[in-house]
């Protein structure tokens, strides 16, 4: 029996039930239609593009039912889907393409210009997504029997690293299955549930927090390509949306919109939140509407659903990321590699079926991060006497702005290597709109650019969300006795500068 072919199973159990739909185009598909279309696409990929098990299919497109159908086809074939970040620069995408060496790149028309620029740098076979579906509609709908293997990777998700070079995280069918069990048990998902997916496909959260666990349970998912506060508020209110997944930035934007004042959604059981820190004020604003937020913690390399705060605990355990999910092995170790006591902080380690086997083309980093079966998350947490976990910080200097991971070293390297400054240090600071925002402390403005000119210049080398929102020029950077930049002092310095501005105003 093929335990991983969930769409195939539901196409037999509830063939006429609507499985997914697009808010943007109005297209909708029953479970049987999802199954039939994915078989046709699978056959087309085999015949026309000679796709085989282990081949990579890179995708540069926004989320949609068609993207899901591509996933279903790829999973059955044993091909590996590589969701590319359409917000990334061509140079960043070029690195991923060269690293993963896809047999095929499937793109959305909106991003065709990027593929044209990419093909000037590296050749690859490509086709526009609507065209491949048009062509595959002529194929046979008879399935080729194939076993979906637990250890076979189904995704490669690229994440930035502390070196600035993206790393491809392998995500297997085994991870998919156990994460789905974790999620559906903790969130109490049933076939009667209905969600709106407004997250992008190039993060694991866009697939593995609600989308695939919901489909595993035979529920319904509607897709919205681009998040728009009013559109999302209206859709939740006017449809029977029972669950919704958001990052804090989305929730803040929804609260600030005028439509939130009269927003009512009694059918909404709760909102699942993750990706970055969530302010208490946002929790309270949603609670006033009778909607509780279920915070959680996860990462691309494990789960991603690792912990969950039950909505009944949302108000009396504000700020907690909850308790570990059912099928998660974890430990919290201090700097001496001893397990911490309640109230103490330590690094979170994870093990079990939800942990990645490693990184694509990067055995050295795999060995560095996974030791004796335990994955070192780099995240510092503490656990209270009742078993609730709290995030303390990140072992490295990564920060999250608007749901996007930003690594200071990558930004610093651009500033230095492009000969823009003599010294640079980037930190993340609290930001009302984006959760966190980048601040660059710079020494020696070599090209004599203003703050605005420097930010404009960085657009040539960095995706827009990575560009520091604030720039501070200094005569020197504070450093420790061994010459290491003192980032704690920089945070204090920035806070003093902001306080002075408030006093002046």
The CATH number of the domain where 427 resides is what? 3.30.300.30
b/e code 133-167 from CB counts within 10 Å (16+ = b) = beebeebeeebeeeebeeebbbbbbbbbbeeeebb
The CATH number of the domain where 20 resides is what? 3.40.50.12780
Residue ending a domain, among 173, 188, 208, is 173
- Which pLDDT value is given to residue 162? 44
**What is the C-alpha radius of gyration for the chain, rounded to an integer number of angstroms?**
23
Distance CA 304, CA 297 (A): 8
Residue 446 domain-assigned (yes or no): yes
Residue 202 domain-assigned (yes or no): no
Beta bridge partners of 353: none
Residue 318 domain-assigned (yes or no): no
In 3D space, the residue among 132, 126, 201 whose CA is nearest the CA of residue 171 turns out to be: 201
- Which pLDDT value is given to residue 245? 96
Strand order in the sheet with 28-30: 28-30, 18-22, 220-223, 194-197, 243-246, 270-273, 293-299, 302-308, 323-324
Distance CA 443, CA 420 (A): 10
Distance CA 57, CA 48 (A): 14
pLDDT in tens, the chain (505 residues): 578 999 999 999 999 999 999 999 999 999 999 999 999 999 999 999 999 999 999 999 999 999 999 999 999 999 999 999 999 899 999 999 999 999 999 999 999 999 999 999 999 999 999 999 999 998 888 888 888 999 999 999 998 654 458 899 999 999 999 999 999 999 999 999 999 999 999 999 999 999 999 999 999 999 999 999 999 999 999 999 999 999 888 998 999 999 999 999 999 999 999 877 677 778 889 999 999 999 999 999 999 999 999 888 888 888 889 999 999 999 999 988 999 999 888 999 999 999 999 999 999 999 999 999 999 999 888 899 999 999 877 777 788 898 888 878 788 878 887 889 888 999 999 888 888 999 999 998 888 888 999 999 999 999 999 999 999 999 988 875 455 688 889 999 998 888 776 555 4
Question: Could you write out the DSSP letters of every residue in 438-459?
Answer: EEEEEEEETT---HHHHHHHHT
What pTM was computed for the model? 0.85
**Domain housing 73:** 1-173
Distance CA 502, CA 505 (A): 5
Assign 235 to helix, strand or coil: helix
Residue 63 domain-assigned (yes or no): yes
CB-CB neighbours of 258 under 10 Å: 9
CB 48 within 8 A of CB 106: no
Cα 405 to its chain centre, rounded Å, is: 9
Residue 160 domain-assigned (yes or no): yes
Residue 378 domain-assigned (yes or no): no
Determine if residue 225 is left, alpha or beta; phi over 0 gives left, psi from -120 to 50 gives alpha, anything else beta.
alpha
- Which pLDDT value is given to residue 322? 93
Residue 425 domain-assigned (yes or no): yes
Distance CA 30, CA 60 (A): 25
Residue ending a domain, among 173, 198, 222, is 173
Residue ending a domain, among 144, 173, 202, is 173
How many domains are contained in the chain? Answer: 2
Residue 349 domain-assigned (yes or no): no
């Amino acid at each position: 029996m093929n335990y991983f072919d969930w769409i195939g199973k539901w196409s037999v159990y509830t063939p006429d039930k609507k499985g997914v739909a697009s808010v943007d185009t109005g297209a909708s598909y029953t479970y049987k239609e999802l199954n039939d279309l994915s078989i046709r696409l699978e056959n087309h990929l085999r015949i026309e593009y000679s796709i085989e098990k282990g081949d990579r299919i890179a995708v540069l497109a926004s989320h949609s039912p068609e993207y899901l159908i591509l996933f279903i086809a790829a999973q059955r074939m044993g091909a590996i889907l590589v969701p590319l970040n359409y917000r990334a620069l061509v140079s960043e995408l070029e690195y991923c393409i060269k690293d993963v060496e896809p047999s095929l790149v499937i793109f959305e028309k909106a991003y065709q210009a990027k593929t044209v620029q990419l093909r000037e740098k590296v050749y690859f076979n490509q086709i526009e997504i609507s065209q491949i579906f048009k062509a595959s509609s002529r194929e046979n709908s008879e399935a080729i029997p194939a076993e979906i293997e637990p250890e076979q990777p189904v995704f490669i998700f690229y994440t930035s690293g502390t070196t600035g070079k993206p790393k491809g995280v392998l995500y297997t069918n085994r991870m998919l299955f156990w994460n789905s069990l974790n999620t559906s048990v903790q969130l109490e998902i049933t076939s009667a549930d209905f969600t709106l997916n407004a997250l992008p496909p190039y993060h694991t959260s866009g697939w593995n927090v609600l989308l695939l666990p919901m489909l595993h349970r035979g529920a319904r998912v509607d897709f919205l390509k681009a998040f728009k506060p009013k559109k999302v508020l209206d859709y939740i209110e006017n449809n029977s949306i029972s669950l919704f997944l958001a990052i804090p930035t989305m929730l803040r934007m929804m609260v600030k919109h005028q439509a939130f004042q009269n927003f009512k959604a009694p059918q909404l059981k709760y909102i699942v939140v993750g990706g970055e820190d969530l302010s208490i004020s946002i929790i309270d604003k949603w609670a006033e509407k009778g909607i509780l937020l279920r915070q959680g913690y996860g990462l691309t390399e494990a789960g991603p659903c690792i912990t969950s705060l039950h909505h009944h605990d949302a108000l009396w355990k504000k700020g907690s990321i909850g308790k570990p999910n059912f099928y998660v092995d974890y430990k919290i170790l201090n700097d001496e590699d001893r397990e911490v006591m309640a109230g103490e902080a330590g690094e979170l380690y994870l093990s079990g079926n939800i942990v990645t086997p490693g990184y694509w083309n990067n055995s050295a980093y795999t060995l560095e991060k996974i030791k004796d079966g335990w994955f070192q998350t780099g995240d510092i947490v503490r656990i209270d006497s009742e078993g609730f976990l709290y995030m303390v910080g990140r072992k490295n200097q990564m920060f999250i702005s608007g749901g996007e991971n930003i690594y200071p070293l990558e930004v610093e390297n651009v500033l230095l290597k492009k000969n823009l400054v003599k010294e640079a240090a980037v930190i993340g600071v609290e930001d009302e709109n984006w959760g966190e925002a980048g601040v660059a402390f710079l020494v020696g403005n070599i090209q004599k650019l203003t703050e605005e000119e420097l930010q404009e210049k960085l657009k040539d080398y960095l995706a827009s969300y990575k560009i520091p929102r604030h720039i501070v020029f200094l005569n020197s950077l504070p450093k420790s006795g061994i010459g290491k930049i003192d980032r704690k002092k920089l945070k204090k310095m920035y806070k003093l500068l902001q306080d002075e501005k408030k006093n002046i105003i």
